[in-house]
A = this chain, B = another copy of it.
Amino acid sequence: MGATRLIATVVLSLLVFLSGSSATQKKKTQGLPRQPCNRMVFYFHDILYNGQNAENATSAIVGAPAWGNRTILAGQNHFGNMVVFDDPITWDNDLHSNHVGRAQGFYLYDRKDYFTAWLGFSAFFNSTQHRGTITFAGADPLNKTRDISVIGGTGDFFMARGIATLMTDAVEGEVYFRLRVDTKLFVLVTIDHPAFSLL
């Protein structure tokens, strides 16, 4: 989403609202809006430090409960492990594809009886295609698919909010996992938004 494309989307969307027929308008009000202004699918690749892969590791255990350590994920479904990461982002599911950004932040394992996590991270883009960050946070029940929230956006993603549907795309031992992130972005309306002045 380049800034220009985003603005184009916004302006186009406004035109659609203003010219919409009554029939369409009625239909639209029957549910909450679920049509994002923008959708992005990307993958990120996490290689956890295990004491032997210093060269390749992109993440490391930095917090552990009393029964854990910082080179092996703790017992009890890793409850209490906190991991800091700086993972490459790719558009497809191949670690060796072009790295188009970095996913940076942390995750916690937070349940003793089965795997669940809590995530706080940003997708950081700095290319001709995208410049800016999308920040995510929330509980990750580690189901087949699950939603977390988009809590912030800067640069091209200024004032974007929404949700991201996560899917664990691959797991190799306790060292490598790959996450598919299907991000649906909406642009917030603020008090001095041009949409108001148009009306």
Residues in A lying within 8 Å of B, measured CB to CB: 3, 6-7, 10-11, 13-14, 16-17, 20, 24-25, 28-35, 37, 49, 51, 60-66, 69-71, 79-82, 84-86, 102, 104-106, 108-112, 116, 118, 120-122, 124, 126, 132-133, 135, 137-139, 141, 147-155, 158-159, 161-163, 186-199
- Dominant SS at the A interface? mixed
Tell me whether A191 and B197 are in contact (CB under 8 A): no
Nearest CB on B from A10, distance (A): 5
List, in ascending order, chain B residues with CB within 8 A of A104's CB: 110-111, 116, 118, 139
Q: Is the CB–CB distance between B108 and A191 below 8 Å?
A: no
A156 to B, closest residue via Cβ:
B32
Docked Cα-Cα span, A6 to B190, in Å, equals 14
Other CB < 8 Å A-B pairs besides A104-B118, A118-B120, 7 of them? Answer: A17-B199, A29-B197, A61-B66, A124-B141, A138-B154, A161-B188, A186-B190
Q: Which residues of B contact A51 (CB under 8 A)?
A: 66
The CA of A70 and the CA of B195, in the complex, are separated in Å by 51
Report Cα–Cα, A102/B62, bound state, in Å: 24
User: How far does the alpha carbon of A143 sit from the alpha carbon of B32 in the complex, in Å?
Assistant: 36
Residue contact B82 to A71, C-beta cutoff 8 Å: no
Given contacts A86-B110, A138-B152, A151-B149, contact A29 B198 (CB under 8 A): yes
Are A137 and B152 in contact, with the CB atoms below 8 A? yes
Listed A/B pairs (8) with beta-carbon separation below 8 Å: A32-B194, A33-B193, A49-B65, A62-B108, A84-B108, A118-B121, A135-B139, A135-B149
Rounded to whole Å, the gap between the CB of A161 and the closest CB of chain B is 7
* Chain B residues with CB under 8 A of A186: 159, 188, 190-192
